[in-house]
Amino acid sequence: MAAANTDSILIVDDNPTNLSLLSETLNCAGFRVRVAIDGESAIDLCDRNPPALILLDVQMPGIDGFETCRRLKSNPATRSIPIIFTTALTNTDNKTKGFALGAVDYIPKPFAQEEVLARVQVHLQLKHLTNSLEQQVSDRTAALRQAQFQLIQQEKLSTLGELLAGVAHEINNPINFLVSNINPLREYVEGMIEIIQLYQQEHLQPSADLTEAIDNLDLEFALKDIAKILDSMTLGAERIKNLSVSLRTFSRADRDEKVPTNLHHGLDSTLMILQHRLKSKRDHTAGKEYNRPPIEVIKTYGNLPEVCCYPSQMNQVFMNILANAIDAIDEAAATDKADPIPQIQITTESDSEGWVVIEIADNGLGITSDTKQRLFEPLFTTKPVGKGTGLGLSIAHQIIVEKHNGSLSVYSQRGQGAKFILKIPASPTDC
């Protein structure tokens, strides 16, 4: 194998004749050769720059070959270097001892040059194959681990999506009763108020019982308050209705195909679901006392075309990025560096190169350069146990890059907030 011949071989032997014979054989075959004349200097050499293979004499002054082998095998940095013993001691006990210590082969002295070369080459090839196999196993294990996390997350999401869609559906009917009945109720009540006022004008001297009942109710206040109560009921019912629409938009069941989508609806429904986290917040748990004002959301929506995508996956991306932004603002609030007006800015545009670009920026704590490098790694989190799983951004990245052929990048400095820029093709062909 030609490529293997650039490997370096360490020959350890106290006999100059053996050293020069072996060196010459290996040099001629194109190997880089290093030599040591005793066990201790061999161990030093290996520590500094491990060779691809070692030819090790057994009988040497100082520590012998067996002891040298034992020490090399007990050091994790040198453990995997293949060792071939070269010795005149060819009885079975010695051979067995060498193999037991971890040697891969045995070459009897005096050497036949072809045999040395053949054995060295076979063991180097085996070593290369082992290395590449180990690499493949570790790559596959990492890929499997990532796929497993994503499957678990997707499973959770689809269960959650079904649950949300179910709840939204169930809320829909009762909330429609409320919304559609409030207006007739308002008309009846207004009519009744008018009638009461007419009675008051026509019966200037009510009976004692009536006067008492009017006073007990505080009729004047009640008549004014009824209108306000109806207004707030209307508002409340409208909000629940919007939330129900948002829940349905957010959890659109669309796992199989991309569909043309209005991404602004996705962003708005996600914000609606996160509404409770945008409100002002007071945290007085030990060690982090803060009062954070409500988070301002500044939307600068451009003119976006309907984008061909998996809508609920895109909503998941918005949710993960926005939830992180709120976390970062809360973290900043617990320090003395918080911006007085916590803000999240969402900007969308469709650029001249055919991309839809969505920027989500916060003025929270920002990201250190160490964190930035590992941001999209599955399971990487800086949040306490139970708060973050470290999957949010790795999933967002996978959805944008692999599922939508887009890109997700981040700009941030510690103390200066963070900006996530998400790009996906405006008109892909698969819709």
Ligand X SMILES: Nc1ncnc2c1ncn2[C@@H]1O[C@H](COP(=O)(O)OP(=O)(O)OP(=O)(O)O)[C@@H](O)[C@H]1O
Q: Does 342 bind ligand X (CB under 6 A)?
A: no
d(CA 241, CA 263): 20
d(CA 372, CA 204): 78
Among 50, 108, 390, 425, indicate the residue that binds ligand X (CB under 6 A): 390
Half-sphere exposure of 21 (CA within 13 A, CB side): 15
Q: Does 324 bind Mg ion (CB under 5 A)?
A: yes
Among 78, 249, 324, 363, indicate the residue that binds ligand X (CB under 6 A): 324
Q: How far is the CB of 392 from Mg ion (least distance, A)?
A: 3
Q: Could you give the string, one character per residue 252-281, with x where binding to ligand X holds by CB under 6 A and - elsewhere?
A: ------------------------------
Which CB, 15 or 381, lies closer to Mg ion? 381
Q: How far is the CB of 410 from ligand X (least distance, A)?
A: 8
Among 18, 150, 389, 416, indicate the residue that binds ligand X (CB under 6 A): 389
User: Which of the listed partners (ligand X, Mg ion, none) does 382 bind, with a CB threshold of 5 to 8 Å by partner kind?
Assistant: ligand X
Which CB, 33 or 157, lies closer to ligand X? 157
Q: How far is the CB of 383 from Mg ion (least distance, A)?
A: 8
Q: Does 311 bind Mg ion (CB under 5 A)?
A: no
* CA distances in angstroms from 115 to 3, 98, 105, 322, listed in the order given: 20, 19, 12, 67
Q: Does 157 bind ligand X (CB under 6 A)?
A: no
Task: Count each helix (H run) and each strand (E run) in the chain, helices first.
Answer: 12, 14
What residues are paired with 411 via a beta bridge? 419
What residues are paired with 108 via a beta bridge? 87
User: Which of the listed partners (Mg ion, ligand X, none) does 37 bind, with a CB threshold of 5 to 8 Å by partner kind?
Assistant: none
d(CA 284, CA 281): 10
d(CA 365, CA 339): 9
Q: Does 328 bind ligand X (CB under 6 A)?
A: yes
User: Which of the listed partners (Mg ion, ligand X, none) does 371 bind, with a CB threshold of 5 to 8 Å by partner kind?
Assistant: ligand X
d(CA 52, CA 9): 6
- For the chain, report the end-to-end CA distance as a whole number of angstroms: 50
* CA distances in angstroms from 135 to 77, 129, 395, 417, listed in the order given: 17, 10, 25, 39
Q: How far is the CB of 141 from ligand X (least distance, A)?
A: 21
Helix (H, G, I), strand (E, B) or coil at 190: helix
CB neighbourhood size of 31 (10 A) = 23
Strands annotated E in 46-147: 53-57, 83-87, 105-108
377: which DSSP letter? S
Which CB, 246 or 363, lies closer to ligand X? 363
Among 311, 392, 406, 417, indicate the residue that binds Mg ion (CB under 5 A): 392
d(CA 302, CA 356): 10
Q: Does 371 bind ligand X (CB under 6 A)?
A: yes
User: Which of the listed partners (ligand X, Mg ion, none) does 146 bind, with a CB threshold of 5 to 8 Å by partner kind?
Assistant: none
Which CB, 203 or 383, lies closer to ligand X? 383
Q: How far is the CB of 313 from ligand X (least distance, A)?
A: 15
Label residue 194 exposed, middle or buried (CB < 10 Å: 0-12, 13-18, 19+).
exposed
Which CB, 161 or 392, lies closer to Mg ion? 392
255: which DSSP letter? S
Helix (H, G, I), strand (E, B) or coil at 337: coil
Q: Does 320 bind ligand X (CB under 6 A)?
A: yes
Q: Give the interface size with ligand X as a residue count (CB under 6 A).
A: 23
User: Which of the listed partners (Mg ion, ligand X, none) does 428 bind, with a CB threshold of 5 to 8 Å by partner kind?
Assistant: none
Among 19, 391, 399, 424, indicate the residue that binds ligand X (CB under 6 A): 391
d(CA 410, CA 422): 9
Which CB, 23 or 320, lies closer to ligand X? 320
Q: Does 347 bind ligand X (CB under 6 A)?
A: no
User: Which of the listed partners (ligand X, Mg ion, none) does 267 bind, with a CB threshold of 5 to 8 Å by partner kind?
Assistant: none
Helix (H, G, I), strand (E, B) or coil at 425: strand
Among 7, 13, 268, 362, indicate the residue that binds ligand X (CB under 6 A): 362
Q: Footprint of Mg ion on this chain (CB under 5 A)?
A: 324, 392
Residues of this chain that interact with ligand X (CB under 6 A) are 320, 324-325, 328, 362, 364-367, 371, 375, 380-383, 388-394, 418
